[in-house]
Amino acid sequence: MKAERARVLYTGAGGGIGRLAVSALLQADAAVMLVGRSEARLRSVAHELRRTHGAARVAWHAADLLSSDAIAPLASAATSFGANVVVHGAGVPSFGSFESLAAHDLQRVVHTNLLAPMLLTRALLPHLRSLPSAQILFIGSVLGRLGLPGFSAYSASKFGLRGFAEALRRELGDSSVRVQYLGPRSTHTPFNDAAVEAYNRATGTAMDDPQIVADALLRLLCDEDRAERFIGWPEKFAVRLNALVPNWLDAAFTRHRRSLPDPPSCASPSTLNITP
């Protein structure tokens, strides 16, 4: 889709990648509805963007995607906005040895990174199907195709997101809705805390400027026939190799395993409460 025809619903618009991606979309003449949890932050960002790009092309809607009650009002606002592109950019991190992760953190990462995009997509599909052309773009991760020590929960959520995108793309293959997946590698944003940055230094893992991700997202939007795009070398090669012979790479991550923070000596059991 040409950017000037895009009316984009962008979740996670207040994040490090989100703010740059929104700016890139607006500079390419798209219209954008910003979505995030903080009403004050969204209002401030929207006000700043409206001064630069005009009020007609910038809207915002505060929503906590962890709440199922937030989905229907957001879908209604997106429909009123005339959204023909949905960018699922909202996400939360998870890092550390699996046995050190609290049950509520596991629930939060899977809900935010996987379940919320699924629920919002389902709510928006009737509207998107009614349009002559529409796109759904999932911002996932290289870790949605390549599992690394220390990112077990995060990888699980992103593997699930990529699997959902692939299945949905095939399910909607005869419709006007295109489904795409973008897989960045690690980026220099507050999303990655000091522990992740130390891990990346110890393992020689490259980190990209978030502008690289924003530019890749814009290219993917304009290349609607491309299903997936992964960012970074050697990550692109590792993703392909891992898909063919996954056990070949196991030994390559010995340094990653040894660079993890030590798990707690005695983990306390906890109960995972999932609200139906």
CATH number at residue 33: 3.40.50.720
Rounded Cα gap, residues 70 and 39, in angstroms: 13
8 A C-beta contact, residue 71 and residue 119: yes
pLDDT tens digits along 89-102: 999 999 999 999 99
- Residue at 58 is within a domain: yes
Residue partners of 259: CB distance under 8 A and separation at least 6:
150, 199, 202, 203
Tokens of 47: 């006000």
pLDDT at 23 over 80: yes
φ, ψ of residue 249 to 5 degrees: the values are -90, -5
DSSP for 70-104, written as a single string:
GHHHHHHHHHHHT--EEEE-------S-GGGS-HH
Which pLDDT belongs to residue 269?
A: 46
The total number of structural domains in the chain stands at 1
pLDDT at 248 over 60: no
Rounded to the nearest 10°, the torsion over CA 127, 181, 64, 73 is 0
- What does the pLDDT average to over 252-274? 61
- Residue at 130 is within a domain: yes
8 A C-beta contact, residue 94 and residue 109: yes
- Residue at 136 is within a domain: yes
pLDDT tens digits along 117-167: 999 999 999 999 999 999 999 999 999 988 899 999 999 999 999 999 999
- The range of the structural domain enclosing residue 106 comes to 3-258
